[in-house]
Amino acid sequence: MKLKLFFIFLFILALSGCITHVFVDGEVRLQIKNESDVSIARLVVLSANGGEDLWISDTIAPGATSRVISGSWVGSFDLGMSVEDSLGRTWSKVRFPSVSLDGGSVFAEISEKDGEWAFKIR
Amino acid sequence: MLLKKMSFLLFFLCLVTPTFSNNISVSSLDHAGEIARDRELREFQQAFQPGTAGYFAIGMHYLPFPTQTQLSSEYGTHDGFAFRHQMAAYFANPIGNSGYDLGILWWVERQGWDQEDFFVWPRYGEFSLVRSIHTTGATLALPKYHLGAAGGIQYQNVEKTAKIYADESDSLFWWGHATWGPTVVQTSFHEGEWRHVRVSMDLESKELWGGASHGWSTYLPNFDVGLFNGDGDDSLRISLEQNLWAQQLYAEVAVYYPEHGFRSAMLKYYPDASRIVSFDVTCFRLNNDDLVWGGGLTLPFLRVGYNHASDIENFFGSRGTFMIELRFALSSAKSGFFGLGAAKSAPMDSERVSKKLWDDSSKKATEADKKEITAKGIRREKSK
């Protein structure tokens, strides 16, 4: 009887190997809100060798939110974005190092205070 | 009670295990295919002793948390699941009364990294790598003279590879294997070019294959030398297995040339020489010369390891996390069942007990048969 229970336990363990993904999401659906006073654009994931992968291409006006874009970026990554001047030209580039993202829906607010940019997940 | 304790231990390991785990690198996943190719042929070498009737193995790593085997890429750290699902089957049968055994074999391993865990259907995510390696072929053995030959194909099927990994495509190798007494020679080819040559000498005397059960000849070493074609950058893997005590305590050392030198050392204790259960203490040397100490426990249906040298080598360099593998592996020959590389077969007490019981019961039955039963009289009952 005990052996039977042990095998049932092993079977459940094996089965859980293929049902965990019901609870663990393998993609992030990200929406960002611009809480700063200037327009921001082009949220990218930065690579160590200098490259970048575009995630959200929207230009977001102060107080506006972006579209919801899904990406496979579950984990910890360096994110980057462009800050635009009033003529829509790139003014500067901002880097958010080691941003931790869990799978599922993520709503983030980007704000600026005294020249320091912050990426906060709500 | 023991099972309850074991279940609790498993859950405890699952909970603490993701805390300090080390990330898996892209390059270790890139090289895992060639390591698996060699491992399958090495396992076959151990399974194919002339006289073996069969070998069956099945196993999967159980890693419940996406933070246990995170992937380090140029972008950062990805949560997800490394996986290795494997199966091996080898069956051999005598051809009439000719003395020859004819056999077939199939080794398969599906491995890689995926963003979600799965058992059959992967997610094939944007950063996934899914490949399977199949080794199949036929064997012919003449057990009376300890002679054997085998050959077949080895096919790598790349199901999914993402942009972060090195380019890889499907490939077909041919392989051949010959064994005579303690000597094994093995080779593989791809498009007319040799890929590996292996020479191994199992000098240790094993009772299972007609050798001594004890004495000096059981303390002789087992060598394995593999030469790999790296297209002008050849490498060598030398391993040594040495019986230290009563074919129950063994030392194993692996050395790589020219790159690493000393790679790993293991001390394995088998409570029974049939090698179905083992307790291991291991040491693995990393590329930066740091030594990683670890160990593990192998039971018939379960293997638990922490920083085990064979996990670091065979599971994409993964360390700092408890590895739980649900597995089963057993060889069989005329003399009984045993694990890979065993010196003796497992004691089969159940067989002896059942035979004794059968003998007793049959004896009683014959004694009962001898008794004469005589009718003392006939009584008639009246019908109402």
Render pLDDT for B32-85 as a digit per residue (tens, 0 to 9).
999 999 999 999 999 999 999 999 999 999 888 888 899 999 999 999 999 999
Residue B342 has pLDDT above 60, yes or no: yes
Over 90: is that where the pLDDT of B356 sits? no
Least confident of A23-32, A68-77, B128-137: A23-32
**Which tokens in the block code for residue B325?**
């593998």
**Res. A21: pLDDT tops 70:** no
Task: Flag if A45 and B75 touch (Cβ within 8 Å).
Answer: yes
pLDDT over threshold 80, residue A88: no
CB atoms within 10 A of CB A90: 11
Q: In this structure, are residues A27 and B128 in contact, taking their beta carbons and an 8 Å threshold? A: no
> What element of type H or E holds A10?
helix A2-16
Say if residue A6's pLDDT is above 90. Answer: no
At residue B157 the predicted structure's pLDDT band, cuts being 50, 70 and 90, is: very high
Task: Check pLDDT > 90 for residue B361.
Answer: no
Amino acid at A67: R
Asked if A14 has any chain B CB less than 8 Å from its own CB, the reply is: yes
CB contact under 8 A, A48 and B75: yes
- Rounded to the nearest angstrom, the gap between the alpha carbon of residue A80 and the centroid of all alpha carbons in its chain is 11
Q: Give the residue on B whose Cα is nearest the Cα of A44.
A: B75
Structure token digits, residue B12: 């405890």
| B24-47 exposure pattern, b = at least 16 Cβ within 10 A, e = fewer | bebebbbebbebbbbbbbbbbbbb
Q: Is the ipTM of this complex over 0.90?
A: no
pLDDT of residue A3: 80
Set of chain B residues whose Cβ sits within 8 Å of the Cβ of A97: none
pTM: 0.84
B157 Cβ contact list (under 8 Å, min separation 6): B131, B132, B133, B134, B170
When pLDDT is cut at 50, 70 and 90, the band that residue B120 belongs to is confident
pLDDT at residue B372 greater than cutoff 90: no
CB contact under 8 A, B78 and A24: no
pLDDT interval class at B194 (50, 70, 90):
very high
pLDDT in tens, A39-61: 999 999 999 999 999 999 999 99
Within 8 A by CB and 6+ apart from A19, the residues are none
The pLDDT of B9-27, averaged and rounded, is: 67
Q: What is the mean pLDDT of chain B?
A: 88
Rounded to a whole number, what is the distance in Å from the CA of B108 to chain A's nearest CA?
19
**Domain extents in chain B:** 2-345, 351-376
Helical ranges in B266-343 per DSSP H: 309-314
Could you tell me which chain A residue has the CA closest to the CA of B115?
A26
